[in-house]
Amino acid sequence: MTEKILTRNFDRADAHTLGAYRETGGYTGWEKARTMEPAGITEEVKKANLRGLGGAGFPTGMKWSFVPKNHTGPVYLVINADEGEPGTFKDRYLLERDPHALIDGMLIAARAVRCEKAFVYIRGEYVEPYRRFAAAVKEAYEAGLLGDGLDIVVHRGAGAYICGEETGLISSLEGKKGWPKVKPPFPAIKGAFGMPTIVNNVETIAHVPHIVNRGAAWFAPGIYEESVGITLRQLIDRAGGVSGNGRLKGVVPGGSSAPILRADEIDVTMDVDGLRNAGTMAGSAGVIVMDETVSIPEALMVVARFYAHESCGQCTPCRESTGWIYKMSERILSGHGRKEDLDTILDVAKRGAGTTICAFYDGAVGPYISYIEKFRDEFEALVTDGAGTRARATPAPVAR
Amino acid sequence: MPKLTIDGKEIEVAPGTNLIEAARQLGIEIPHYCYHPGLSIAGQCRLCMVDIEKAPRPTIACNTQAADGMVVATQTERVKETQRSIMEFHLINHPLDCPVCDQAGECWLQIYYMKYGLYDPRMVDEKVHKPKAVPLGPHVMLDAERCILCSRCVRFCDEITGTGELGIFHRGDQSEIGLFPGRDLENKYSGNVVDICPVGALTDRDFRFQVRVWYLDTAKSICPGCARGCNIDVHVNRRRPHHAGGKRVARLKPRFNAEVNKWWLCDEGRYGYGFVDDASRVTTPVWRSEPVPWDTAIAEVTRALGRHAPDAVGVVASPKMPNEDLMAVRRLAEALGTRQVGFKVPPRTPGDQDDLLIRADKNPNTRAAELIGLDGDVAGILTAARSGRIKALWVFGHDLFDSAWLESDVTLALGALETLIFTGTNAGRTSALAHLVLPATAWVERDGTFTNWEGRVQRFRPAVEPLGEALPEWDIVGRVLGMLGHAASATRAEHWFVDLAANVEAFRGMTYQSIGETGRMTQ
């Protein structure tokens, strides 16, 4: 087993306190970074090839370097702690059990991008993570770490998945409806409150102190905990194997938006390239394991309901087809499907993909297509041609 | 200036021009719903997709600025396929109630379906249901099921009026346009949201169910509601006179003029045409309370004016009269030799004004009346009438009782006159006292020009026939001039404009042709 980095303190009951964090070398990254030139910090993070761990995998150092050099007003650092991807709760543990690691990383990142005011946007449902993190911020202020060069505003979301999309998050932070923004301009040029804004994921920033402390060469090419490089099958075994009836049906490897893998497809390495070659993605790396008792048509209906519920409604293709696909999937599941519905779902999903402002719909398309293509027999067993689609009652509308 | 290629044609455009506007300059249509040149970019409808060389997938044209060397294609199979998909998405939850929808015939869902849709419908599930026939304010009705959520109306209220009454509420396919709690859509420009709504979601309460749009005829015109001179189209119903209670003018719509009103029109102007088809219109010449032929009326007017010393005759022109008619009045005053001419009557309540369009002066042609030299002392004329120094008075347009003046003063002045002549479109308290009432055409029943507050001369065209026996004021005045022995050569408004352009310095050299569609500034 490789060295634990981010989770090293998870077993300590007092891991969330400043004292415990300092005992294990906390804030030494910041101590070192404050002697470095901002550009030098960015360079180190670039060399480490740190990639965004919210799901999109964008190189972090490169993102920092997009802030216009000649900008004279404020620059904002925004931490995306709106962790809402189904099957994903890594940031929650970091906020609850090692909140000072995030503050440490934020101090360094803020210096790199010349930010004096940073925001942490925490998912509304994350009550305990919010309490722990807010308490850590208070400790950091009392210890003089914050308030002298950097202020942190902790902001709680109100329970919308789309506010995890970086520009949707910015809209929400600005007090507006959480609609993603048309790009260009990109946030690093014109983001929150019209100012250059860097949006980074919690886990991404928690890595930064270690990179600064130990140097880019130590980090590259991406030693994140233990999972990268092991196969999906090994990972499931290490986590205790398949629950339920013990027989595997499918695995969603990177949050609900990642295309599903069949049981015979899981001998792939759990890294970006391995999963991409298998036709899926690492995404948020939140793994969902389904045993044989799981009905894939039901799983599709559940995930389709989620995306129909969470679509912000801004772009026509996403707004209209998430609801349409949910209705079709629900109708199929209840025994009123027609064979052509399966192809209609596939066609609608493919037509809408890539046509919208943000990546939400492309994420929804992952399960729509892969569930049907990989488990088509399960769907075909349910469709009953000509079984009175119109006679059926309306599916319950998606709750507001 | 970036130079780019669209569908093989090269064009140079101003920096910052987006691809929809660049293509428009080449006569190439890029279909769109949410984009509006007067509003911010929303990028929501996703219909304006084009292919840009080297781009991996179609891109929205509205949020793409033209760049030097850019190669754009609007007709690739991929673009057409994307447009077809987006049209299907727009329509799956649409109620398809065109037969009972006022927008039918001018609906961009219908137009674009025929041009860019034409797919076979696949939607068999129950559509999303939303509120219907919701009054948003005094002028606008919402049908949320027809709405495609382009957000133009929301952006209009946020960005143009700054009033922010509207928002999009809820999420996903439950999203709907609505009012913020406690608000009504009652800003002074609310009717514009109906114009910019590309579908039947927002309809005009004034126009709803009155007449199908395909029965309408249109004429280019100028709003007479204030000194701004907003460019408009007058939509009239001549083909189905039994519809809409016989009202001929169905609605006014703003017409784009970058220098005057852009795309907009205020509600006061938009809904201010009611007098045209009102029962109070005067439709025949009246002498001593009896209808008479025009010849009789003109002869009586000429006799009444001609039998007094020049300064015993007064003329109150109207700043609502067009340039041509004001010129005719000036010639009449010259012919009579009277100096008792004026046009300004103070309104009972001062007009409101704002920074967008609305001007405090609620007359369309004050500027021209000043330039033509008719700016005399109307209050002095009334005083002279009261004391018997003025014996015959010709009042154009004004109801002198509807003014800041004391009712008793007006009554005494008019009552002292030997002859009171009224020329106007509608009866009122002044016309009720007149010995002669001469019906004038409304502005939509004739052609002419107005000069707005900035000095811009703009043409308006006839949209509908004169009501009854009504004549333009220039014609009435011209006939009197003829009877007075002056060569009456004007048979068209334009003839008076020629006189104006030849003899009033500010208008020198202008012709109807040189005014064009966007107007021309006086010197």
Residues B145, B161 within the same domain: yes
Residues B196, B172 within the same domain: yes
With respect to residue B444, please indicate whether it lies within any of the assigned structural domains.
yes
With respect to residue B389, please indicate whether it lies within any of the assigned structural domains.
yes
What residues of chain A lie within 8 A of the CB of B86, using their CB? 316-317, 355
Listed residues B91, B113, B133: the one ending a domain: B91
Check residue A225 and give its pLDDT. 52
Interchain pair B46, A356: CB under 8 A: yes
Nearest chain A Cα distance for residue B143, angstroms:
18
Task: List the one residue out of A383, A173, A325 whose CA is nearest residue B123.
Answer: A325
Check residue A229 and give its pLDDT. 74
Length of chain B, in residues? 523
Which CATH number covers residue B115? 3.30.70.20
Interchain pair B89, A321: CB under 8 A: yes
| Chain pair A-B, CB pairs under 8 angstroms | 106
Closest Cβ opposite residue B170 in set A331, A351, A400: A400
Nearest chain B Cα distance for residue A356, angstroms:
7
- Among chain B, residues having any CB pair with chain A shorter than 8 Å are 41-47, 49, 57-58, 60, 63, 81-82, 85-86, 88-90, 92-93, 122-126, 128, 148-149, 167-168, 170-175
Closest Cβ opposite residue B57 in set A320, A331, A354: A354
Sheet holding B231-237, edge to edge: B216-222, B231-237, B249-254
Closest Cβ opposite residue A316 in set B45, B57, B167: B45
Check residue A95 and give its pLDDT. 96
For an interface test with B, give the residue of A167, A171, A320 to mutate (most B CBs within 10 A): A320
Task: List the domain range (segments joined by +) for residue B122.
Answer: 98-204
Residues B112, B82 within the same domain: no
Sheet holding B392-396, edge to edge: B290-291, B286-287, B436-439, B419-424, B392-396, B313-316, B341-342
Interchain pair B41, A182: CB under 8 A: yes
Please state, in angstroms and rounded to a whole number, the distance separating the CA atoms of residues B331 and B474: 10
Pairing of strands B341-342, B313-316: parallel
Residues B87, B171 within the same domain: no
Model confidence over B160-211: pLDDT tens digits? 999 999 999 999 999 999 999 999 999 999 999 999 999 999 999 999 999 9
Q: Which residues of B345-367 are buried (b: 16+ CB within 10 A; e: fewer)?
A: beeeeeeeeeeebbbebbbbbbb
State both tokens at B423: 């020329």
Nearest CA in chain A to B84: A351
Residues B352, B417 within the same domain: yes
State both tokens at A200: 């980074």
- What structural domains and CATH numbers belong to chain A? 18-219 (3.40.50.11540), 232-398 (1.20.1440.230)
Interchain pair B44, A395: CB under 8 A: no
The DSSP symbol for B245 reads G
Neighbours of B169 (CB within 10 A): 16
Task: List the one residue out of B277, B195, B202, B200 whose CA is nearest residue B244.
Answer: B277
Question: CA quadruple B134, B136, B139, B144: dihedral positive or negative?
Answer: negative
Instruction: Give the predicted TM-score (pTM) of the model.
Output: 0.94
Q: Helix crossing, A90-97 with A127-142: angle to 10°? A: 40
Asked if B42 and B91 touch (Cβ cutoff 8 Å), the reply is no
With respect to residue B393, please indicate whether it lies within any of the assigned structural domains.
yes
Residue corresponding to tokens 């060469």: A217
What residues of chain A lie within 8 A of the CB of B166, using their CB? none
Please state, in angstroms and rounded to a whole number, the distance separating the CA atoms of residues A281 and A111: 32
Residues B464, B441 within the same domain: yes
What residues of chain A lie within 8 A of the CB of B42, using their CB? 182
With respect to residue B271, please indicate whether it lies within any of the assigned structural domains.
no
Alpha-helical regions (H) of chain A? 18-23, 28-33, 38-47, 60-65, 90-97, 99-113, 127-142, 166-173, 202-214, 216-219, 232-238, 272-277, 296-310, 316-333, 339-352, 360-374, 376-380
Check residue A226 and give its pLDDT. 52
Tally of CA atoms within 13 A in the half-sphere of B12 that contains its CB: 1
Report the complex ipTM.
0.91
Check residue A40 and give its pLDDT. 96
What residues of chain B lie within 8 A of the CB of A165, using their CB? none
Interchain pair B149, A323: CB under 8 A: no
Interchain pair B149, A313: CB under 8 A: yes
Question: CA quadruple B28, B34, B37, B43: dihedral positive or negative?
Answer: negative
With respect to residue B220, please indicate whether it lies within any of the assigned structural domains.
no
Which CATH number covers residue B465? 3.40.50.740
Closest Cβ opposite residue B172 in set A184, A322, A395: A322
Listed residues B48, B64, B91: the one ending a domain: B91
Listed residues B204, B230, B252: the one ending a domain: B204
Phi, psi of B167 (to 5 degrees): -150, 170
Interchain pair A352, B85: CB under 8 A: yes
Which CATH number covers residue B46? 3.10.20.740
Q: How far is CA B439 from CA A189, A322, B328, B397, B478, in A?
A: 65, 63, 17, 10, 15
- Three-state SS string across B196-208, please? HCCCCCEEECCCC
Please state, in angstroms and rounded to a whole number, the distance separating the CA atoms of residues B111 and B213: 14
**Which residue ranges in chain A fall short of pLDDT 50?**
1, 221-224, 227, 388-393
Residues B84, B141 within the same domain: no
Interchain pair A182, B57: CB under 8 A: no
Closest Cβ opposite residue A316 in set B90, B122, B128: B90
With respect to residue B215, please indicate whether it lies within any of the assigned structural domains.
no
Residues B173, B320 within the same domain: no
Residues B80, B108 within the same domain: no
Model confidence over A33-48: pLDDT tens digits? 999 999 999 999 999 9
Residues B80, B193 within the same domain: no
What residues of chain B lie within 8 A of the CB of A355, using their CB? 46, 49, 58, 82, 85-86
Residues B128, B44 within the same domain: no
Closest Cβ opposite residue A316 in set B46, B122, B124: B46
What residues of chain B lie within 8 A of the CB of A314, using their CB? 44, 149
pLDDT string in tens for chain B (523-residue length): 999 999 999 999 999 999 999 999 999 999 999 999 999 999 999 999 999 999 999 999 999 999 999 999 999 999 999 999 999 999 999 999 999 999 999 999 999 999 999 999 999 999 999 999 999 999 999 999 999 999 999 999 999 999 999 999 999 999 999 999 999 999 999 999 999 999 999 999 999 999 999 999 999 999 999 999 999 999 999 999 999 888 999 999 999 999 999 999 999 999 999 999 999 999 999 999 999 999 999 999 999 999 999 999 999 999 999 999 999 999 999 999 999 999 999 999 999 999 999 999 999 999 999 999 999 999 999 999 999 999 999 999 999 999 999 999 999 999 999 999 999 999 999 999 999 999 999 999 999 999 999 999 999 999 999 999 999 999 999 999 999 988 767 899 999 999 999 999 999 999 999 999 999 999 8
With respect to residue B405, please indicate whether it lies within any of the assigned structural domains.
yes
With respect to residue B253, please indicate whether it lies within any of the assigned structural domains.
no
Asked if B432 and B402 touch (Cβ cutoff 8 Å), the reply is no
Task: List the one residue out of B145, B57, B162, B52 whose CA is nearest residue B101.
Answer: B145
Structural domain count of chain B: 3
Model confidence over A52-101: pLDDT tens digits? 888 888 999 999 999 999 999 999 999 999 999 888 889 999 999 999 99
Residues B72, B128 within the same domain: no
Asked if B380 and B356 touch (Cβ cutoff 8 Å), the reply is no
Apex CA B382: angle with CA B377 and CA B386, to 5°? 145
